Every structure is written in structure tokens, then in C-alpha cells.
Structure 1
Amino acid sequence: MLGPQCCENPPNLMSAGACGEGSVVELGGLKTYVSGSSTLAVLLISDVHGYEAPKLRKLADKVASSGYYVVVPDFFDGEYFRAPGDKRSLADWVNSHPTAKGVADAKPIIQALKRTGISAIGAAGFCWGGKVVVELAKSDHIQAAVLLHPAMVTVDDIKEVRVAIAVLGAEIDNISPPELLKQYKPVLSTKHEVDSYVKIFHGTKHGWTTRYRDEDKIEVESAEEAHKDMMAWFNKHLKLNKRIAKI
């Protein structure tokens, strides 16, 4: 389940509508922030704070500059959890925005990407989005997955993963603690056909990759390291997939 750590250091959404180098279009029935141009796509699935979060869009632009078409859909139809001060409890918000609906909404987006000629798709999920991505990774909807401080991802979920997956976790995480993430390792090690790894970032808290504090040098550097790890994973698996498709 989600908890207070999911709401710490929330993004400032006051001017987020104009944030980023990309644009907002409709894709698969959802408003979607898009950035870059490529036949390789990366789907970023946000945490509870939504697709307008400035640091998430900044990351989308960074990934796009590495040679990808990046899409960040609004899975919440503008109904983000706004901490602090949201009149709803986080539990009520989650009940109104179940990850199962996120998975269902992601599939038309993936289909729309494929219709435009996209040859390989990777997906990265943050907190709430991590659960959506792991569900997509149980089939051939995507070719590579990255979970960043995921929420609600169980060992049984990991047992069903069928595509290359990297798990980037925080050391100080009450949502998916290192003790849980370490249980993923022996499960993944038995899946010889699935490339994988689990990495715990020392001194970091749940949510740090998109909600790092600018004044905290360690958080900023750790976030940048996680971003590089994510892009390296996609470079390895999506570009390999593209080369195989040409043979």
C-alpha cells in the first residue's frame, strides 16, 4: 500500500502546465506529455503527483535527448493527489485510481505507439507507476522495464515478469524496503531468459528520483545516477531489440 513517504517533498504544480521542452497531445485517449522523436519509445508512469510534475518532465526531456520518443500520460485525468492539504485520504485516492485501471489505460497508448511505427517500447514506473509497469512486464506489451522506488510490487509479481527488468530502490523506504527488494533477486536469478538486476541507493528515501530536494547534494547526485542507470538499461535492451528487428 502507499503511505506518507509517497507524499514527501511534493512537486510545485502551480506553473507546471507550461513546464518542459515537449508538448501535450492526446494519445490512446489520454492527455500525454511527449518529448523527442524516434522509433524507440519510453513510457514514463508517474507517482501519485501526476504527469505535470516538473522534475518528471525534466527527466522525460533528458531521456528524449538520448534518442527516444518519450510519453508521459495523465493516468489520473488531472486528479492528482495534492499533498499537503488534499481533502481525500491517500487510501481513498488510491481506491479511486487503482493500478489495474492504469494497466488498462496503458495498453491503448502502447498500441497507438506501435501504429506510428515504434519498433520497441520501454516503460519506467515511479511509486504507483511501478506497479503498472510490472504488470505490463508480465507480457509482450513492452520490451524493457525499470521500477524506481516502486509501490505495491510483490514477489509474486516478480515471478511473472517476462521482459528485461531493473529495480532501483531506496535505502530508506517504508513502502518497498530493501528487505523486500532483496527478495526479488533470487526469483529473478532463476529466470535465465530475463536480464535483470536490483540496486539499492544508499542514503536515499522513497520517491527521491523525481522528488529529490535541490539543496541536498546527495539526493541530487543519487537521482542523476538512477536516471543514468535507467537510460543505460533502455539503451541496452531497446536498441538491441531494434537491431534484432532489422535482421
Structure 2
Amino acid sequence: MSGPQCCANPPTLNPTTGVGHVENLGGLNTYVNGSPHSKLAVLLVSDVYGYEAPNLRKLADKIAAAGFYVAVPDFLHGDPYVPNAGRTLQDWIKDHGTDKAFEDAKPVIQAIKSKGITAIGAAGFCWGAKVGVQLAKREFIQAAVLLHPSFVTVDDIKTVEVPTAVLGAEFDQISPPALLKQFEEVLTAKSEVDGYVKIFPKVSHGWTVRYNVEDKSAVKCAEEAHQNMLEWFAKYVN
């Protein structure tokens, strides 16, 4: 289920990007930003390139500016995927299962709640979307956003218990529009859970965090998705 699109447009990782800071949260190094007095939090789960990706940290800063406490944990334990470094993506995934990241997320969420946070949203990107959908239970979070999901299945969507939005790309071999339409059908049938599926035209898998900052069109498409995500959290994480 993973392929070349999972690795397209790799970012240049930079641990100094962003106006937040890194601290230990629930046993993981975590990029954090936002008011420590906020009662609302957003957890971001990265793609295979990890929590030092500049566009991801910029997005974290944007969410923090909207009033949320934001946490971006290093679920990859200092070992992001590096293309053309002698290890295939499939081999890397064997060492970085989303089930383990889901378990790692539980103490992170507890650490966030211990700060006085009363509501949490989670957004997962590509690889991280599988973690996001696993967290989409009332005991963990209040809302989820899955952006160009890589491993999410129809059965996963059937299990969500909190409002869940799926933002996908027109050109996506991993989570194609046909699959997203199935997600939409499942969410529509779940009357007890609000769902939303949007397919962005003329963009490819990974467009929300692996865009070229010099490409105005790419930036605009990414920012539209970011705004949709923020609106979802503003509505349901309160």
C-alpha cells in the first residue's frame, strides 16, 4: 500500500525550524508551541519524514497561533525515512509500524491532558493518518483529520467514534478518490458521528506538508487544506 508517492518531494529536515521548542512529552521528544494556558490541544502525527520537517512545524505554529496548544511528537524515534540511503520504504516501515506509534501516542495524550487540556484533536499525514484514525476514539481525542492517508482502510473508518474529516488528493495512488468515496459512504452512514471528505483537485499525495514553498499554486492548495483542518478543530475541539 505504500509506494513512490509516499516518498515524493522529501523535505530538508531542520531541527531549528519553527518558533516553538522541543521537550519530552510522554517519553518522546516533541515539538510544542502554543499557550500553556490553553485548554485545547492539537496533536500532529507526521509522515515518514518525521517531526523536523519544516512545513509541518510551520503548520504547527499556524495552529498554535489560532489558540491551540500543539504537540508534534517524534514517533519515529530519531529515525525518519531517508530516500536512497540503502533502506527501502518497505524495510523502514517494518521498523516503524503504526501500531507502535499508536501505543506511543497514549502516554503523550496523557501528558497533554495533565497540563489541564480538556479537549484534543489529532491530525495525521500519510503514514501518520493511520495513527490518527486509531486514535479517533472518545477516550483519546475529540476530533480527527486524516490528510492523504496511506494505510487507512474502510474498516478503520467504520471504527471512528469522533468527528472525522478526510482530506485527499485527486492524484493519489495510495488513497485514490474511489477509496475516499467509500470512506465518505461509511461516515455518512454513521449518523452518530460527523464526517467530512474532501478531494482536492489537481494535487498529489502529500501536498499538505511536502509542497514547494516557491510554488504559489502549491502553497495555496496546501493552505486551503490547512484552513479546512483548522475549521474542523475549531468546530469540534472545544
Same-fold status (TM-score > 0.5): yes
Tell me the residue number matched to 1:36: 34
- Matching residue of 1:149: 148
What's the secondary structure of 1:17's corresponding residue? coil
Sequence identity percentage: 63
Q: What corresponds to 1:177 in structure 2? A: 176
Q: CA distance change for structure 1 residues 139 and 39 in 2, over 3 Å: closer, same or farther?
A: closer
Whole-Å separation in 2 of the counterparts to 1:131 and 1:225: 22
Deviation track 1:7-51 (CA, whole Å, cap 9, x = no partner) reads 1111112xx111100000000000000011111000000000000
Q: SS of the counterpart of 1:106?
A: helix
> Superposed, which structure 2 residues align to 1:219-238 within 5 Å?
219-238=218-237
Which residue of the partner structure matches residue 200 of structure 1? 199
Q: Is the 8 A contact 1:46 1:127 kept in 2?
A: yes
TM-score (normalised: structure 2)? 0.97
Task: State how far apart, in whole Å, the 1-side matches of 2:201 and 2:230 are.
Answer: 20
How do 1:1-247 and structure 2 match up within 5 A? 1-13=1-13, 16-37=14-35, 38-83=38-83, 85-239=84-238
Matches of 1:140 and 1:146, distance apart in 2: 17
Q: What CA distance in whole angstroms lies between the structure 2 residues aligned with 1:227 and 1:145?
A: 13
Equivalent AA in structure 2 for residue 214 of structure 1: V
- Gaps of at least 5 residues in structure 2 are none
Q: Distance in 2 between matches of 1:36 and 1:20?
A: 12
CA shift, 1:220, in A, is 1.2
Q: TM-score, normalised by structure 1?
A: 0.94
Instruction: Provide runs of 4+ in structure 1 moved above 3 Å.
Output: none
Write the distance in 2 (CA, Å) between the matches of 1:115 and 1:217: 40
Deviations 1:135-182 (A, max 9, x none): 111442100000000111000111111000000000000110011000
Report the count of equivalent residues. Answer: 236
Residues in 2 aligned to 1:86 and 1:203: alpha-carbon distance in whole angstroms: 30
Query: 1:216, CA displacement in angstroms?
Result: 2.8
Which letter does structure 1 place at the counterpart of 2:54? P
Q: Distance in 2 between matches of 1:168 and 1:160?
A: 18
RMSD across aligned positions (CA): 0.9
What corresponds to 1:242 in structure 2?
A: none
Corresponding residue SS for 1:208: coil
Secondary structure at 1:78's aligned position in 2?
coil
Query: Where does residue 244 of structure 1 map in the other structure?
Result: none
Q: For structure 1, list consecutive stretches of 5 or more residues without a partner in the other structure.
A: 240-247
Give 2:40's aligned amino acid. Answer: L
Maintained 8 Å contact 1:35/1:61: yes
Between the aligned partners of 2:85 and 2:31, the Cα distance in structure 1 is: 24
Q: What amino acid sits opposite 1:36 in the alignment?
A: G
Q: What amino acid sits opposite 2:26 in the alignment?
A: G
Deviates more, 1:23-32 or 1:110-119: 110-119
Contact 1:140–1:162 (CA under 8 A) maintained in structure 2: no
Question: 1: distance between equivalents of 2:3 and 2:102?
Answer: 21
Q: What is the letter of the counterpart of residue 219 of structure 2? A: V
The answer to which of 135-144 and 119-128 deviates more is: 135-144
